Amino acid sequence: MQAIGNEPSTAVTDSLPVLAGAALAVSAVGAALALADLASPLRAPFTLFFLIVAPACAVAAGLRGLEPLGRLVASAAGAVALNLLVAQTMLATHTWSIRAGVAAIAAISALLLLLAPARARIRVRRPGGPTARRRTS
């Protein structure tokens, strides 16, 4: 029997943590293979997965106010921009290596994830909002 309504089915809701755990495992294996410089046929795809997923999750953690599709697009664009920024900086300083790039992306992603809860506590004042006061003299 199929449920009719706007609520997601329990099968989809229950599988999301499993998919998130699998993505975490694949990206951790990719980072470990790149940092340990092991020769494996899985090194390139898993490392690429890590280089996209780690910064995308970190950027998405700071974008909690957006709708899911907008959050997905913005976090993917932020991940690509962060990867390009790290690569360009490392090439400009002549310090490019795969291991250093993966370590830099991991460090920046961890920093963004740690700063996300702090940014969520900051309230933004908007001009003309209920907290704005105008002085008239």
- Length, in residues, of the chain: 137
Which single residue is written with the structure tokens 């089915």? Answer: 9
In total, how many domains does the chain have? 1
CA–CA distances in Å: residue 59 to residues 4, 103, 123? 34, 17, 18
Cβ atoms of 31 and 47 closer than 8 Å: yes
Whole-number Å distance between alpha carbons of 26 and 32: 10
Any domain includes 10:
no
Cβ atoms of 113 and 58 closer than 8 Å: yes
Any domain includes 94:
yes
Q: Give the range with max mean pLDDT: 4-8, 109-113, 115-119.
A: 109-113
Give the pLDDT mean for 105-124: 79
Q: Between 49 and 130, whose confidence is greater?
A: 49
E strand or H helix at 63, and its extent? none
Quick check: pTM over 0.75?
no
Any domain includes 133:
no
Give the pLDDT mean for 51-58: 92
Any domain includes 59:
yes
111, 110, 86, 108: which is closest to 98 by C-alpha?
86
Any domain includes 54:
yes
CA–CA distances in Å: residue 10 to residues 3, 22, 38, 55, 131? 10, 19, 40, 29, 41
Per residue in 62-88, pLDDT (tens digit) is 888 888 898 899 999 999 999 999 999
Residue ranges making up the domain that contains 75: 18-118
Instruction: Enter the tokens of residue 124.
Output: 């933004």
Any domain includes 136:
no
Per-residue pLDDT for 129 more than 60? no
- Identity of residue 18: V
